[in-house]
Amino acid sequence: MSNENAKAQPNEDIVLRAPRVEDGAAVAELIRQSPPLDVNSTYAYLLLCHHFAGTCVVAELEGRVVGFISGYLPPEQPETFFVWQVAVHADARGRGLGQSMLRHLLQRPVSRHVHFLETTVSPSNAASRGMFSGLAKDLETDMSEQPLFDHTMFGEGAAHEDEMLLKIGPFH
């Protein structure tokens, strides 16, 4: 499927659902194919699909995992949904799937008391910034940005960019 064809196809072909442990390996593979995301162990994705299925989502197209978001409600901030990783397969980008998955998570019962969304982005990730600023616009709310993890915190020689904290909200 080329990106051009993907744009022409409606997102109705795509099913958004909570992940199952059987999705763990496919999710790990999608992350591997989605630089600049950090690739965590397959075990970490199995745990997300098992313990955090309620706050994670997979996008499935004809039995293939083409999108994934991991997230959770930070224990000390129950009004905040923290988005960890977002990946959309290269073939399915540019047709609003990233934003659809974010809205899907905010519409789940688990998010009923959520009024803010937080995430971290690197300064150079234009696609990620575009997706989150589009969501803030859609929710008719503000987006603020402040430093969270400085590149030096990833350890010497890690060649990791800074991670800026984006905060979107309040929304209802």
Ligand X SMILES: CC(C)(COP(=O)(O)OP(=O)(O)OC[C@H]1O[C@@H](n2cnc3c(N)ncnc32)[C@H](O)[C@@H]1OP(=O)(O)O)[C@@H](O)C(=O)NCCC(=O)NCCS
Neighbouring C-beta atoms of residue 96, cutoff 10 Å: 16
Site for ligand X in 83-102 (CB under 6 A): 85-88, 93-99
Residues binding ligand X: number (CB under 6 A): 21
Whole-angstrom Cα distance, residue 65 to residue 86? 13
Which C-beta is closer to ligand X: that of 2 or that of 112? 2
Stretch that binds ligand X, among 108-116, 126-134, 139-147, 157-165 (CB under 6 A): 126-134
Site map 31..70 versus ligand X, x via CB under 6 A: ---x-xx---------------------------------
**CA 36 distance to own-chain centroid:** 13
Whole-angstrom Cα distance, residue 9 to residue 25? 26
Interaction of residue 117 with ligand X, rule CB under 6 A:
no
155 by Cβ neighbours in 10 Å (0-12 / 13-18 / 19+) ranks as exposed
Whole-angstrom Cα distance, residue 148 to residue 69? 20
Which C-beta is closer to ligand X: that of 69 or that of 156? 69
- Interface residue list for ligand X (CB under 6 A): 34, 36-37, 85-88, 93-99, 125-128, 130-131, 134
